[in-house]
Amino acid sequence: MQKKRCELCGRQESLIEVQVYRDNKPKTLSLCTSCAMKLLENHPEGQKDVSALLEKGGKEMFQMIFEVRSLLGEIASQIHMIETQRSHASQLQCSCGLTYEEFKETGYLGCPWCYDTFKTAIHEMLVDIERGTVHRGMIPPKHMYFILVQKEIAYLQRRLKHLLSREAYEEAARVQKRLKRIQGKTQWDSL
């Protein structure tokens, strides 16, 4: 699929659609972020004549234009950051000679040092493909109880440590009793 180009400059990819009115007729323009920013800056009700706009009672409109302008600035900076990361990633090469492009194409790494070299790219691929880097799949019902108990014990131990550091001894005693009760009930040998 071919990417749509900006209708003003024709060089960059169109990312934003802006509706402008000429002769009281709406027209939708597909613009890149830099042209959209220029359009807002040069707009007669933009930054140029703020006092006249406020006198006309267009405070809400000015606020909306300002919010859109700042949003476009944020979008432009995010896009620039992503493009910079992509160009940096495409220039990566491991000591074994494997380039990022080859890794991306084949999915195979060439040596143990490739893991460090392409660490960020591997992480991004896992997030895209697997919806994260932590396994959240099915757990057999038999083991679910023990996993939950382990998490509860770890939480209570952290809580106890925190309470002791704050010198909240009464609350710490209650947490410690609960921790001992849970540890006493756990039957690890039934796995």
User: What does the pLDDT look like over 5-56, one tens digit per residue?
Assistant: 888 888 877 777 777 666 777 778 787 767 776 766 666 544 444 444 444 4
Q: Is residue 63 part of a domain?
A: yes
| Mean pLDDT, range 91-118, rounded to an integer | 83
Residue 73 confidence (pLDDT)? 76
The single-letter code of the amino acid at 37 is: M
Please state, in angstroms and rounded to a whole number, the distance separating the CA atoms of residues 170 and 84. Answer: 54
What percent of the chain clears pLDDT 90, i.e. is strictly above it? 7
What is the domain extent for residue 43?
Answer: 16-89
Residue 42 confidence (pLDDT)? 63
At 168, list the tokens.
Answer: 């909240």
Number of domains in the chain: 3
Q: Is residue 56 part of a domain?
A: yes
Beta carbons within 8 Å of 153's beta carbon, 6+ residues apart: 179, 182, 183
Q: Give the burial class of 149: count Cβ atoms within 10 A of its Cβ; 0-12 exposed, 13-18 middle, 19 or more buried.
A: middle
Q: Are residues 21 and 81 in the same domain?
A: yes
For residue 141, name the pLDDT band (cuts at 50, 70, 90).
low
Residue 88 confidence (pLDDT)? 64
Q: Are residues 20 and 85 in the same domain?
A: yes
Q: Are residues 77 and 35 in the same domain?
A: yes
Q: Is residue 136 part of a domain?
A: no
CA atoms within 13 A on the CB side of 17: 4
Residue 170 confidence (pLDDT)? 92
Q: Is residue 125 part of a domain?
A: yes
Q: Are residues 84 and 27 in the same domain?
A: yes
pTM over 0.85: no
